[in-house]
Amino acid sequence: MPNEIGQETLERLIRDYRPYTKQGAVAAYIPELAYANPHALGIAAAGADGSILKAGDADTSFTLQSISKIITLMVALNDCGPERVFSKVGMEPSVDPFNSIVKLETLDHKKPLNPMINAGAIVIASLLSGGGSVDARLQHLCDTVSRITGRSSIRFNEKVYESERRTGDRNRALAYFMKSTGIIDSDVDVEKTLDLYFKACSLEVDCVDLAKIGLFFALWGKCVESQTDGTCSTKEIVTPEIAQIVTTIMITSGMYNHSGEFFLKVGLPAKSGVSGGIVAFSPNRYGFGLFGPAIDAAGNSVAGVKMLEELSRSHRLHLVSPH
Ligand code: GLN
């Protein structure tokens, strides 16, 4: 039976792995993200019993960026069904960077490879952005994140959103290209879709929120709610089948074009964002939220990945294990 994770474990991880923050760099292609402290490092672990442990800069707020893609995918699966979603986006991992455009023209079906690359997430946003205002759609996403994290409100960071909107020409190119090939439906307003995508990427969280999101997937679509008598109960937000699809896509594509190496070394479902956040989880047991804005070439937090490698090793969390 794996060891329980304790406060000392998390403190030690922060101490031992902070030096690795020097090996990455903050994302600067979204100018507002460049203001993050490259040496910040935080971790939180949420247990199935409702316990929360945290260490380092776990209270620092940051934007979800690509981590929002697991939320939009889940909401789209719930609202539109898997058949419609996967008629627009594939299920295969990508060896190209997250913002690559190349396969959209060379693949026969023209579909983005998976929902975790930008093109795939923009298509998902196009499914969500029809009918109703962008703000109403965003509110639906915020409400979902609020229920999972138990936070009364989740907001988007206006500065990060503006910064990304101003400089988001590559995403704009992906979206208009996909409209030209019919992957984005002809009646979709591409600017509205992009607005929803940029705002979803700009939703603000901290490590504890991410740990709770991880735990929610670890519990197959249920969130843990604390009761007034000190006990906990769980509440289903999406079906286990939807949670299973999102989990599987996280394993195959959650860490972009480093998903294979990450799964080999860590062996947990995970999703990262260019702000330096990572959500990961151990099914039925723990959710983890990490933050370290110094990222590598693939867009993953360098120290965050290292901490997960160590945590998986020390606590035998790898899903493919002879033990
Ligand atoms: N908002 C970012 C973008 O569209 C998200 C990418 C990421 O986190 N990898 O480029």
Rounded distance, CA 79 to CA 85, Å? 10
Which residues, listed in sequence order, are joined to residue 63 by a DSSP beta bridge? 204
> Is 274 one of the catalytic residues?
yes
321 lies in some domain: no
Rounded distance, CA 72 to CA 152, Å? 20
Q: For residue range 22-59, what is the model confidence (pLDDT) as tens digits?
A: 999 999 999 999 999 999 999 999 999 999 999 999 99
Residue pointed to by tokens 């409100």: 153
- Confidence band (pLDDT; 50, 70, 90) for 3? low
- Confidence band (pLDDT; 50, 70, 90) for 105? confident
pLDDT at 305 over 90: yes
* Domain identity same for 255 and 196: no
Angle separating helix axes 134-149 and 207-218, nearest 10 degrees: 80
Q: How many domains does the chain have?
A: 2
Nearest CA to ligand 1 atom 1: 65
Q: Which of the listed residues 201, 224, 244 is the one where a domain comes to its end?
A: 201
> What pLDDT is stored for residue 162 in this prediction?
97
> What pLDDT is stored for residue 101 in this prediction?
81
* DSSP state at residue 149: H
> Is 69 one of the catalytic residues?
yes
> What pLDDT is stored for residue 153 in this prediction?
87
> What pLDDT is stored for residue 1 in this prediction?
45
* Domain identity same for 187 and 214: no
Q: Which of the listed residues 150, 168, 201 is the one where a domain comes to its end?
A: 201
Domain that holds residue 299: 7-62+205-314
Lowest-confidence region among 5-14, 148-157, 195-204, 223-232: 223-232
> What pLDDT is stored for residue 96 in this prediction?
82
pLDDT at 104 over 80: no
> What pLDDT is stored for residue 118 in this prediction?
95
Q: Residue 91 Cα, ligand 1 centroid: separation in angstroms?
A: 19
> What pLDDT is stored for residue 2 in this prediction?
52
* Domain identity same for 101 and 193: yes
* Domain identity same for 76 and 51: no
- CATH number of the domain to which 243 belongs: 3.40.710.10
Q: Which of the listed residues 173, 201, 229 is the one where a domain comes to its end?
A: 201
Contact of 293 with 40, CB cutoff 8 Å: yes
Summary mean pLDDT of the chain:
94
Q: For residue range 199-236, what is the model confidence (pLDDT) as tens digits?
A: 999 999 999 999 999 999 999 999 998 888 888 889 99
> What pLDDT is stored for residue 102 in this prediction?
76
* Domain identity same for 129 and 214: no
Q: For residue range 12-30, what is the model confidence (pLDDT) as tens digits?
A: 999 999 999 999 999 999 9
Cβ < 6 A, ligand 1 pocket: 65-66, 98-99, 118, 164, 171, 201, 273-274, 299
Mean pLDDT along residues 266-276: 98
